[in-house]
């Protein structure tokens, strides 16, 4: 298992980590199988979406902020319930097929670490599972 460090700089942020994951795959030498990504945090997530137009992730965060308001008479005393909700909306893991040593992502797909309670130093676990 490979641990990637991710540093967020804003409260909510989608940080593209495709090249870091690709490097981890190359270092493993595994050619075919699956890459499992896991975020060991309750206020962050991992997702896959368009990486061609940066406005897409901007719009996603904007829409998510409307669906999950930061203040809403939440009970959780830590005061970050919105971040917990957003984390579960996107989820803590992704599975990406590995084909001839490359991530089998679509042309416009990128892998994003999603921060919802930053800025913080975070970790992402990469498990490369040979076929
Ligand atoms: Zn909390």
Q: Residue 112: its pLDDT value, please?
A: 98
Give 24-72 pLDDT, tens digit per residue: 999 999 999 999 999 999 999 999 999 999 999 999 999 999 999 999 9
Give 62-109 pLDDT, tens digit per residue: 999 999 999 999 999 999 999 999 999 999 999 999 999 999 999 999
Cα(127) to centroid(ligand 1), Å: 27
Q: Residue 46: its pLDDT value, please?
A: 98
Question: What pTM, to 2 d.p., does this model score?
Answer: 0.96
Domain of residue 12 covers 2-130
Count: domains in the chain = 1
Give 116-126 pLDDT, tens digit per residue: 999 999 999 99
Cα(42) to centroid(ligand 1), Å: 8
Q: Residue 119: its pLDDT value, please?
A: 98
Task: Give long-range contacts, CB 8 A cutoff, 24+ apart: 19-22.
Answer: 21/96, 21/103, 21/111, 21/126, 22/102, 22/103
Q: Residue 36: its pLDDT value, please?
A: 98
Q: Residue 59: its pLDDT value, please?
A: 98
Cα(51) to centroid(ligand 1), Å: 29
Is residue 109 a contact partner of residue 17, using CB atoms and an 8 Å limit?
Answer: no
Distance CA 51, CA 9 (A): 19
Q: Residue 84: its pLDDT value, please?
A: 98
Could you tell me how far CA 125 lies from the centroid of its own chain? 11
The CATH code of the domain that includes 91 is 2.60.120.460
Cα(83) to centroid(ligand 1), Å: 8
């Amino acid at each position: 298992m490979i641990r990637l460090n991710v540093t967020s700089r804003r409260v909510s942020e989608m940080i593209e980590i495709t090249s870091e994951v690709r490097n981890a795959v190359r270092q493993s030498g595994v050619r075919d199988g699956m890459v499992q990504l896991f975020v060991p945090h309750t206020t962050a997530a991992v997702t896959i979406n368009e990486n061609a137009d940066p406005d897409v992730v901007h719009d996603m965060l904007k829409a998510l902020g409307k669906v999950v308001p930061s203040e809403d008479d939440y009970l959780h005393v830590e005061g970050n319930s919105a971040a917990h909700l957003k984390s579960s909306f996107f989820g803590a893991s992704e599975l990406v097929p590995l084909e001839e040593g490359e991530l089998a992502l679509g042309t416009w797909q990128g892998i994003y670490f999603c921060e919802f309670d930053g800025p913080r130093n975070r970790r992402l676990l990469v498990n490369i599972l040979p076929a």
